[in-house]
Amino acid sequence: MKKQNSIANKIWIVILSIASLLYVYPIVMILLNSLKKETAISTSSAFELPTAESFNGLQNYVDAIASKGFLRSLGYSLFITLTSVIAILICCSMCAWFITRVAGKLSKALYYLFVFSMVVPFQMVMFTLSQTADSLKLNTPWNIWVIYLGFGAGLAVFMFAGFMKSIPLEVEEASMIDGCNPLQTFFLIVLPMLKPTMVSVGILEAMWVWNDYLLPTLVLDIKKYKTIPMLIQYFRGSYGKVEMGPMMACIMLTVIPIVIVYLVGQKHIIKGVAAGAVKG
């Protein structure tokens, strides 16, 4: 039996290793092409390793950073991601605390509404969303976090509520006996206990907001505001020509930060998802 399990494990390792290589391959190709000259990228040598003739060093990265709008788009993406993630973490953790601590039909209905929101396709609401965002003046980087809060609340509340059920109620009762009001109890007692789920939810939501292209394109004014994914789509050089080298470099500059964040917080994501989905 042990021998059969060992063989099966080795087979799964080989299969998963091949699958991981297939996922990594596009990123490797983008990295290699970001180091090549324009002529090498637009020909059949795009799938080859850089040579002495095609190697362009870090010039593509210099051109991408120096291009018009890159730093501004980077600032927009950072601001939108930070404000959206902070709003999701605070509001959704407080909502999950209410749902798990206040028993009643209202809290149950509210919980199921959040869960149901996760299965609603974005395409069903994107046209009405654009009109609503324009009418409510949510079409700027400074307040688009309100929309991200609405779309990210389903997963966040689901995970927070699952973990919240494992927190002993006696701890909160003891804090209230000591004189804490509900807000003090939440921020001083409950919130520190939510650290594993806070980290996992924060990383998952940050990856989603940072890489999101469709929602900002529908909501924001493209002529005034462009996030990093939008800038890559509309990346143009002189005379409207698409410069593939700087574009590849821009893609790598976009991918690297979120990959680092994911690798650093990978273990926290697994712990947080397991805690939010199993406990309670």
* pLDDT beyond 70 at 133: yes
Residue 71 CB coordination number (10 Å): 11
SS3 64: helix
Residue 279 CB coordination number (10 Å): 13
Q: How far apart are CA 59 and CA 29, in angstroms?
A: 17
* pLDDT beyond 90 at 4: no
Comparing 187 with 244, the larger pLDDT belongs to 187
Comparing 154 with 7, the larger pLDDT belongs to 154
SS3 144: coil
Q: How far apart are CA 49 and CA 29, in angstroms?
A: 9
Region 72-80: mean pLDDT is 92
* pLDDT beyond 80 at 36: yes
Beta bridge partner(s), residue 55: 36
Closest CA to 151 of 105, 102, 218: 218
pLDDT reported for residue 278: 47
Percent of the chain with pLDDT over 90: 22
Residues whose CB falls within 8 Å of the CB of residue 143, separated by 6 or more in sequence, listed in order: 137
112-126, 142-156, 178-192, 224-238, range with greatest mean pLDDT:
142-156
Tokens standing for 195?
């650290």
What is the pTM assigned to this prediction?
0.84
89-120 pLDDT, tens digit per residue, is 999 999 999 999 888 888 889 999 998 888 88
Region 7-15: mean pLDDT is 85
DSSP type of residue 270? H
Q: Which residue has the tokens 């637009």?
A: 42
Residue 273: pLDDT band with limits 50, 70, 90? low
Q: How far apart are CA 273 and CA 216, in angstroms?
A: 27
* pLDDT beyond 60 at 228: yes
154-182 pLDDT, tens digit per residue, is 999 998 998 888 888 888 888 888 888 88
Domain ranges of the chain: 2-61, 67-278
Q: Which CATH class is domain 67-278?
A: mainly alpha
Could you please report the per-residue DSSP string of 80-108? HHHHHHHHHHHHHHHHHHHHHHS-SHHHH
Looking at the chain, list the stretches that DSSP marks H as alpha helix, in order from N- to C-terminal side. 2-33, 38-41, 59-66, 70-101, 105-117, 126-135, 145-164, 169-177, 182-185, 191-193, 195-211, 214-219, 228-233, 244-264, 266-278
Q: What backbone torsions phi and psi does residue 97 show, to the nearest 5 degrees? A: -65, -40
Contact 163, 275 (CB under 8 A): yes
pLDDT reported for residue 149: 94
Buried b / exposed e over 256-266, threshold 16 CB at 10 Å, is ebbeeeeeebe
